[in-house]
Amino acid sequence: MKNNDIVKVGYKSLSKDEIYLISRAEFENQKLITTDYTKKLFPEGQKAANILDKLTRKKRLIQIERGKYIVVPIKAPNQLWSPNEFVTAKFWMSEIPYYIGYFTMYNYWGFTEQVPQTIFILNTKKSLVKIISNVKYKAVKISEKKYYGIKKINIEQEKICISDKERTLVDFIYNPIGTFKNVKKVLEDNLKQINLNRFIKYLISFPVVSVRKRAGYILEQLNCKYSELEILQKNLGNKTTYSVLNPKVHSRKGKINKVWNVIVNEPL
């Protein structure tokens, strides 16, 4: 390689071809580049693969998975830049229906002050844990019946799918953090801030009947009017099947509530 083929940028030396790939991607606002994209620029043999490999080793590309890379901005010193976690999650999922949810959204919507150490991505295709740029991402496969209540937000000119507040509350009842009493507290704190009809509609759509029963019981405890809860009460499935209020307590002993078909195995 000739000396004039090397350009000093940041902490690593980049060849003219490497500079061209990154600058071309930035000019086209292409934050994510693929092997196919690179091959269009460098169609000669193994050249595209070699450039991607070298840029990854030089920490100018962050590999999400095989053939898929996030571009580190050319002016950014390596040690001072990392990709936005929500944008990275979107790029990882690509065309797979997904939403960022669970503990990530519990913090986002203020249900907890705990900052999650993992980005949870609920999707319809895969379950997998991956570390990308020192951040842990957990893909959780869900049925298509659970894929609803999605809100799109704009981050760095990308549309990111997250669960809206009402949908996140449904997930919180299904998969809470802390003690189960925390479910009642979170519902109480947010009841006046949500669309109750939408929340009830989401509960009815959720394919786990026990979640509806627990939610109905708690909402009644929080003095919601029966007229608001009536449609939820009519969608509890088999009237002879009872669910425990707190699934974390391995006991079915407790007072039976026949309105919501729950066994109150722990007082709230």
Alpha-carbon distances of 94 from 34, 64, 65, 180, 237, rounded to whole Å? 11, 11, 11, 35, 37
Q: Single out the residue of 67, 29, 62, 32 nearest to residue 48, CA to CA.
A: 67
Domains annotated for the chain, with CATH where assigned, are 3-80 (3.90.56), 85-163 (no CATH), 168-264 (no CATH)
Predicted confidence pLDDT, tens digits, the chain (268 residues) = 343 343 344 445 889 999 999 999 999 999 999 999 999 999 988 999 999 999 999 989 999 999 999 999 877 765 568 899 999 999 999 999 999 999 999 999 999 999 999 999 999 999 999 999 999 999 999 999 999 999 999 999 999 999 999 999 999 999 999 888 999 999 999 999 999 999 999 999 999 999 999 999 999 999 998 889 999 999 998 888 999 999 989 899 999 999 999 999 988 8
DSSP 8-state secondary structure symbol assigned to residue 161? E
Q: Please enumerate in sequence order all residues whose Cβ is within 8 A of that of 39, keeping only pairs 6 or more positions apart, or say none.
A: 48
SS3 of 49-105: HHHHHHHHHCCCEEEEECCEEEECCCCCCHHHCCCCHHHHHHHHHCCCCEEECCHHH
pTM value is: 0.89
Q: Please enumerate in sequence order all residues whose Cβ is within 8 A of that of 4, keeping only pairs 6 or more positions apart, or say none.
A: none
